Structures are given as structure tokens and as C-alpha cells.
Structure 1
Amino acid sequence: MATSPYMIDVTGDSFDHAVLARSREVPVLVDFWAAWCAPCRSLMPILAKLAEEYQGRFFLAKVNSDEQQGLAARFGVRSLPTVKLFKQGAEVAQFVGAQPERMIRELLDAHIDRPSDALLRAALDQEATGDRDGALARLKGAHETDPKNDRLTAHLGRLLCEQGRVTDSEAILKGLSPRALGDAEIGAI
């Protein structure tokens, strides 16, 4: 496989820097694999393709579990392939076994910042300073450009509801993805 600026082989010695420290800047997807594992061999091309396609919006770290048994034990790997996603120095998601590309995309997209996330943060800052109407206007504009951003949709629905616009809130919240309904942050909203 060709080398990529978005992938690296990781060892026990390099894990903390290559995964945990780096995950404070960009999510890191860690693939625990072994050469003898057929599902691992079918999964790796999908992960490599996504790493290239996402162009640095996440980083792919590969751990050969046969050679790095201590690292696999440290993270409770019992079956291969096991893939864990780290963000801000902590594990935030995982899956075991070869998965379809669509499912992996959904997992990544749930944890990778989107351009509309900056607008969401600005709107929440605006709300925190007391400008709820300005925050609502900013959220509406952001929602028009990215209606699939579930966190943005949830906050827009919340603000509409808090302003007594329950029907509008319900209409917006119907746009949440099924995955969003199981998300703790969105559930709290």
C-alpha cells in the first residue's frame, strides 16, 4: 500500500503521541489488525480510501495486534479487526469486524467537525451573551446551508421551542438522523 500523509503504523512506543496527542487536533481512527485476519484485509482498503478522501479531517493509525500485543491488551481488543475512534485524547466510538463503507462514514461524520460547526459555536456563544434572537438567526442560516448537521439541528429546535415556537421546532427536529436519536449530547438537548 502506498504511503499516505493521513496514515501511520503505530507501536506501543508511539501510540500516545501518534494517537492520543494527535486526537486533540483531529480525530484519529485506530485499526487493530493482523496479517492472518481476512476481515482485516477487506477492511483496510476501505479505511485507506476514506483517509485519502477526507484529506486530513481524520487520521488513520494502524496497529498490528500480533506485533503489538500489549497495546491491543491495553485497549481491550478481543476480536479483529477492532477499530476505535479517538478525539480529544479519549475513545469516543468503536466497531468490531469488517463494516460497510457507509457505516464507517456515518461514524466519522458524527465526530469530524463540519464547516457549519463553526457557525454553531458562534451561535452558541452569541446565545451565551444574551443575544438569543441573533443566535436563532445564525442557526437558521447555518441550517439552510447544512441541514444534515444533527447538532446544529438539535440546537435550532431547542431555541425555537424555548421561544414557544413548538410547531416550528417539531418540524426542524424531524430532520434529525436516526443515529442522532441515540447520541447523548443531542438527547440532552
Structure 2
Amino acid sequence: MSATAPSPYVFDATEANFQTEVLDASFDQPILVDLWATWCGPCKVLGPLLEKVVGEFNGAVRLAKIDCDKEQALAASFGVRSIPTVVLIREGQLVDAFTGALPEGAIREFLARHVQPNEAAPEGAAAPARDETPEQAIARIQQAIAAEPDKAELKLELAVAQMQVGNAAAAEAELDSLPANLANDDRARRLRGQLEFARSLEGAPGAAELRARIERDPNDHAARDLLGVRLLIDGEAAAGLDQFLAILQADRGWNDGQAKKRLVAAFSVLDDADLVGTYRRRMSSLLF
């Protein structure tokens, strides 16, 4: 429906790609779904406005367009009664929706309730060095903060860098100092997830002791759970996820479904899309 050049933030959703490009992808960033048809007048008005507003968010949200005539089964799964219908999906769940052709300002307000726009990099901004270590990144960001103490975005960057070197307390302090408008930033949400994992290991045994407990009793789910968290934090993501899957397979209800919660939380903090997609499918195969 776009009259201009294709946007990297807009794509056509079909039955073939809906699982990966919409549901799976929504764990990494919110997906706005536009259910439309070529014969629908209000759809023709709304579509370009959605694309414009989504573009203003600089990749913080993507727009999936579903042609209801071509994808009737997919449209029916949403229970659509009239079009245009627009829904927002986050972490695999529908979190908000509206019907009809809203004006541009109302669309912007709708998205702003759930998503914070990514800031475009200012011209002339100093880019991080290609081979920059986390310690060098911390020093660079601290210098930038000294020059621009009111730029909250830099504090979020510092929190991320502190977590990368294992300074959980420093990362949490920076995170807690952020203004409300950055509280729902995807990086802030990912960092809070990492901090939750780190907190769960306070006072926990080391990996060797946990492995020994599991060897003595393969059904020691508490030990396996802690080992999974420790492996994740130590950078062995696949091995950590394997521990959670083993618990899920043995007893999906253990500790109020903690294995599933661990997996979902891990998916939100990992940057490897291929790994996350693989383990999300493995989790689904055990649950459904």
C-alpha cells in the first residue's frame, strides 16, 4: 500500500512467516499488525499513516500488514469483525488494539503508550571503536556523560556496559536513575532481565557443586535451574537453555512453571536471534 520506497520497518505478514516474523520477533521488539483489504476505503487512509508513524519510531516497532482477502485464515485467527483493525503484539501476546482509521496523532499516542522511539544517531556523534572492549566503552561513555550530564540516553548505555563487565550493582544504580521515558526502552527491559538472573544466583553454589548434585539426582530441579542461570550469565547460553528445557520436559509444573518462565526471560535478554528461535520452537514442542 506504500506509495514511497519500501520501509525496513514494514513488511507483509502471511501464514508462512507469521510465526517467525510476528510472534517470535515480538519477543525482541513490538509488532504492530495492520489487518486491511484493497477494497476498504478507511484502510487506504490508515495504511500510510501507520507506516509514517512507525517510521518515526526508528526501528523500536515494526509494522506487519495482513491482506485479509489473501490471508483469510490468518485474519480469522484474530477474530476480526471489521477492518481496518490494528493490534499490537509483544512477547507473543496481543497487548492492545483499535479499529477504524484513527488520525495520525491518535496513532502516535497509541504506540507511545507501549513503545519508546529509538533516537536517531546525531550527526557527528562519536561512534564506538570497532574493537572497543567493555572497559573502554565504560570510559568513553563516562566522558560523554561528563560533557552532557543531562543526556539520559548515555546513562542507559553506561548501565549496559557495566553489566557486560559483571558490575551488576553499578548497572542497577544507573538503571534506577533513568527517567520514566526510558523505563520501557528495549535495552532497559533486557538489562532488568539480566539483573533478575544475577540476583537469583546470590548465595548459590558454584557450577561444579551444582553439576555434582544433578549427577547424584537428575531430578534435583533446583540445582538444574541454578546451573542453567549460571551458564547463561557465564556466556554459555545454549547450555543454560538446555537445563531449563530438561526441567520443562521432566516436570513442566515444577515450582509454578519456573522452567518456562526462565526460558521466556532468557529469550528477552539474548541477542542471538537464531539461537532464540531454535529454543523457542523446542519449548513450544514440549508445551503443545
Matched with 2:16 is 13
Pair 1:93 & 2:80 matched: no
Q: Is the 8 A contact 2:58 2:117 kept in 1?
A: no
From 71, 76, 81, the equivalent of 1:78 is: 81
1:112 is paired with a residue of what secondary structure?
coil
Pair 1:59 & 2:59 matched: no
From 26, 38, 45, the equivalent of 1:35 is: 38
Gaps of 5+ in 2: 119-151, 160-168, 185-288
Give the structure with higher Rg (CA). Answer: 2
Per-residue deviation, 1:138: 4.3
The aligned runs of 1:1-189 (5 Å cut-off) are 1=2, 2-113=5-116, 138-139=176-177, 142-143=178-179, 149=181
Deviations 1:140-185 (A, max 9, x none): xx33xx5xx3969xxxxxxxxxxxxxxxxxxxxxxxxxxxxxxxxx
- Quickly say closer, same or farther: Cα 1:138–1:21, change in 2 above 3 A: closer
Which of the pair has the greater relative contact order for Cα pairs under 8 Å at 6+ separation? 1
**Between the two proteins, what is the percent identity of the paired residues?**
44
Letter paired with 2:28: E
Distance 2:46 2:176 in 1: 40
Per-residue deviation, 1:113: 4.3
Distance 1:65 1:138 in 2: 44
Task: Report the TM-score, using the length of structure 2 for normalisation.
Answer: 0.42
1:111 is paired with a residue of what secondary structure?
coil
Per-residue deviation, 1:95: 0.3
Gaps of 5+ in 1: 123-128, 153-189
- Quickly say closer, same or farther: Cα 1:46–1:67, change in 2 above 3 A: same
Letter paired with 1:104: I
Task: Report the TM-score, using the length of structure 1 for normalisation.
Answer: 0.62
Distance 1:114 1:66 in 2: 32
Letter paired with 1:60: L
2:113 is paired with a residue of what secondary structure?
helix
Distance 1:102 1:4 in 2: 20
Q: Is the 8 A contact 2:60 2:117 kept in 1?
A: no
